[in-house]
Amino acid sequence: MPVLAVAIGAVVAVIVLIILFKMVWRVAEPNEALIISGLGAKSKPIDGVDSLGFKIVTGKGTSVLPGFQTARRLRLDSRAANLEVNCVTQQGIPVKVRGVVIYKVGDDFVSIANAARRFLEQQKSMDGAIHELFTGHLRSIIGNLTVEDLILNRERLTSETRGSAADEMSKLGLIVDSLQIQEIDDETGYITNLGRPHAAKVAAAARIAEAERNQEATEREQETERQNAAVIRDTEMKKAEYEGQVQQAAQQARQEVILKETRNAELEAERTEKRLESEIRKPADARAYEQVKLAEAEREERISYAQAAATEVQLKAQRESEAIRLIGEAEADATRRRGLAEAEAIKARAEALAENTDAVIAQQLAEKWPQIVEAGAGVFGNVDNMVVLNGAQGVEDMLAKALTLGGTGLGVARQLLAGMNAQGAQPGTNGHGGPPAATVPVEIPKED
């Protein structure tokens, strides 16, 4: 147990020492300087100056007593400040100058001390101070220069600016690494007009040179074209000569080929004609002769058939005419005979009527008696209700009275027949040559 407690105590002591060391020890980075102020923070004499009242440490470490001393860091790396200055040249031409100043805190202790006194807690304000410083110097220097000097000799502008600001920069503990004038503008177009004559001269020289080169090139091209034309002409002449020889040889060859083809065509035509003669023309002639004979035979057959048909039609017409004549004669004879028979019957009926009128009328009434009875019975057709007073005897009396209506018709018929007999001797009324007697309708009276 005691050994363990000792070991733990030793470890704790080491940890405490490490923590204390971390709290006390400060190390300056390569691009910064430690500014230590407080109890006992004094530096060695610098350039005859006994003490600065604070301690400067660069590139190494040092102890700082917490609560008694304070350590601050001053950056020593480069910084850039943009410049944009509106100035007026010696000629009274307003210009705008744009540039950039690259600066830093000096590496010596005096510069570090001066920068620490001025910017330690306000390091971000360095750019504004540099801008104001160089703006004033640039205005002063550009006021003594012309626009041509600004354009053609920018190095003079930068060197004079750096030289005029060197003393003030030293007091601030700063040094200028680089001063660059990036752009010079003027609103009047003076700088542009300065370049125009030279630009025009250069452009004219360029056009002249281009025209000379074009002329030389054109002459060379024309000479080359003439040479090419001569070569082309000679070539075309040779080519035409060769082509003429080739065409002549080809024409001769074509003529020979045409002659051979003509002979072959003639032979082929002869062979074809013979083949047609044997294979087509003779069989065609035979078929044509056969077709002609067949057509003639068919025509003769149609003529014979037509003549036979015409003869048959003529005979049929004659037979039909004869039949019609015979039928007409028969019908005429039948009509004549029927007329004679009717005339004889009318005559016989007239004679019978004259000799025995009552018998003829009785016969006609007997023939028509069913119709007469039906007409008499029709009297009762309009009776809806009939009352018979005498019973069966009354019914018999009624029927007898209806049937006696035929007797009344008998008297009327006698009178009509008597009148017809009286007129029978007049011509055209009842004789054999006149029309038949008219039938007089007899109306049988009905009792209501």
Report the CATH number that the domain containing residue 134 is assigned in CATH: 3.30.479.30
From 163, 188, 213, give the residue that closes a domain.
188
HSE of 363, CA atoms in CB hemisphere, 13 A: 7
289 in a domain, yes or no?
A: no
Statement to judge: residues 361 and 445 lie in one domain: yes
Asked whether the beta carbons of 437 and 420 are under 8 A apart, the reply is: yes
User: What's the rounded mean pLDDT across residues 419-429?
Assistant: 46
Asked whether the beta carbons of 145 and 90 are under 8 A apart, the reply is: yes
Residues with Cβ within 8 Å of residue 180, at least 6 apart in sequence:
99, 100, 102, 158
Length of the chain: 448
What stretches of 59-144 show up as alpha helix (H) in DSSP? 109-119, 126-142
CA-wise closest residue to 117 among 181, 72, 164: 72
Report the 10 Å Cβ neighbour count for 108.
Answer: 15
For residue 57, name the pLDDT band (cuts at 50, 70, 90): confident
* DSSP codes of every residue in 195-257: HHHHHHHHHHHHHHHHHHHHHHHHHHHHHHHHHHHHHHHHHHHHHHHHHHHHHHHHHHHHHHH
Burial class (CB within 10 angstroms; exposed 0-12, middle 13-18, buried 19+) of 62: middle
Statement to judge: residues 70 and 148 lie in one domain: no
334 in a domain, yes or no?
A: no
Statement to judge: residues 429 and 394 lie in one domain: yes
258 in a domain, yes or no?
A: no
From 167, 188, 209, give the residue that closes a domain.
188
Statement to judge: residues 24 and 63 lie in one domain: yes
91 in a domain, yes or no?
A: yes
User: What's the rounded mean pLDDT across residues 140-155?
Assistant: 84
State which H helix or E strand residue 152 sits in.
helix 147-152
CA-wise closest residue to 179 among 263, 271, 274, 81: 81
Judged by DSSP in three states, 60 sits in coil
Calculated CA dihedral for residues 283, 286, 291, 297, nearest 10 degrees: -160
Statement to judge: residues 361 and 404 lie in one domain: yes
Structure tokens at 335: 């009509």
Asked whether the beta carbons of 437 and 430 are under 8 A apart, the reply is: yes
Structure tokens at 430: 């009842």
83-87, 201-205, 209-213, 376-380: least confident range: 376-380
User: What's the rounded mean pLDDT across residues 11-19?
Assistant: 83
From 44, 74, 104, give the residue that closes a domain.
74
Per residue in 323-376, pLDDT tens?
Answer: 888 888 888 888 888 878 878 877 777 776 666 666 666 666 666 667 666 666
Specify the pLDDT at position 49: 46
Statement to judge: residues 170 and 98 lie in one domain: yes
Statement to judge: residues 376 and 429 lie in one domain: yes
Asked whether the beta carbons of 32 and 71 are under 8 A apart, the reply is: no
Structure tokens at 436: 């038949």
Residue 157 pLDDT > 60, yes or no?
Answer: yes
Statement to judge: residues 50 and 87 lie in one domain: no
Measured CA to CA in angstroms, residue 380 lies from 390, 391, 409 at distances of: 18, 17, 19
Specify the pLDDT at position 424: 47
Specify the pLDDT at position 198: 76
Statement to judge: residues 83 and 184 lie in one domain: yes
Output DSSP code: residue 172.
Answer: H
For residue 210, name the pLDDT band (cuts at 50, 70, 90): confident
The count of domains in the chain is 3
Q: Which domain holds residue 430?
A: 357-381+388-448
19 in a domain, yes or no?
A: yes
> How many whole angstroms separate alpha carbon 180 and alpha carbon 288?
122
Structure tokens at 439: 């039938």
Residues with Cβ within 8 Å of residue 144, at least 6 apart in sequence:
90
Specify the pLDDT at position 367: 66
Statement to judge: residues 10 and 31 lie in one domain: yes
- Residue 26 sits at φ, ψ, to 5 deg, of -125, 140
Asked whether the beta carbons of 97 and 85 are under 8 A apart, the reply is: yes
441 in a domain, yes or no?
A: yes
Strand partners, 88: 94
State which H helix or E strand residue 179 sits in.
strand 174-186
> How many whole angstroms separate alpha carbon 159 and alpha carbon 177?
12
158 in a domain, yes or no?
A: yes
Long-range contacts of the stretch 209-218 (C-beta < 8 A, 24+):
none
216-220, 251-255, 311-315, 382-386: least confident range: 382-386
Statement to judge: residues 48 and 20 lie in one domain: yes
Statement to judge: residues 104 and 150 lie in one domain: yes
> How many whole angstroms separate alpha carbon 424 and alpha carbon 74?
185
235 in a domain, yes or no?
A: no
Residue 213 pLDDT > 70, yes or no?
Answer: yes
Specify the pLDDT at position 28: 81
